[in-house]
Amino acid sequence: MMEARKGGWCQTFTGRQFWPLDPKPEDVCVEDIAHHLSQLCRFTGASKFLYSVAEHSIRVAMEVPLEDKLWGLLHDASEAYLCDLAAPIKRCPELASYRDLEDAVQAAVCERFGLSPGMPASVKEADLRMLATEAIEVMAYPPASWGLEAVKPYDSHKLGWGIPPVEIKQQFLTFFTNLASRRLP
């Protein structure tokens, strides 16, 4: 008999059931993460061109030390199951329960792939610097400050590779496989 799970479930690309209110590591699948994030546009689609969360994740992973690269690649993996909300909206006090859901899903991702529960400082810094870079290269001129004045963007990355989501997905999976193989004993 199947155990009762909390809340409703969503179907993933690979046909699995995923319960966002009751995430378990065994329900997390890297192919689902790669597929979903490759089709999910950063900034809720407000970018000048298609710029996926998967591409962002690859770019963050490329900027951190080897021991943190897998964390960098998977730092937004919870968004594969919950979607990407714009940070100013996500930070609203009214969305504290959403942030708790995101933390729980990310914890299941971390457990599934053997990552430390806390995001490494190098990943936090790379994510913030990539955000500052994206604000310049991906978004229209902002109507107000993003509060990133003290954050040094990366030199031009020519963001938005202009390749289809299926290819970004494959790059994500290849990057993951290469990193995972280095972690094996």
Statement: residue 95 has pLDDT above 50: yes
d(CA 109, CA 101): 12
Answer yes or no: CATH 3.90.550.10 is held by domain 10-172: no
Q: What is the pLDDT at residue 183?
A: 64
Res. 32 pLDDT band, cuts 50 70 90: very high
Closest-CA residue to 126 (of 152, 145, 107, 99): 152
Domain boundaries, the chain: 10-172
Give which of 102, 33, 31, 24 is closest to 74, Cα–Cα: 33
The tens digit of pLDDT for each residue in 112-125 reads 999 999 999 999 99
pLDDT greater than 70 at residue 84: yes
Facing residues of 18 across strands? 10
pLDDT value at residue 185: 46
- Whether 9 contacts 17, CB under 8 Å: yes
Give, as one character, the DSSP assignment of residue 52: B
pLDDT digits (tens, 9 = 90+) for 125-146: 999 999 999 999 899 988 899 9
Token output for 137: 């290269």
Whether the pLDDT of residue 17 is over 80: the answer is yes
Q: Which residues contact 176 (CB under 8 A, 6 or more apart)?
A: 30, 34, 70, 73
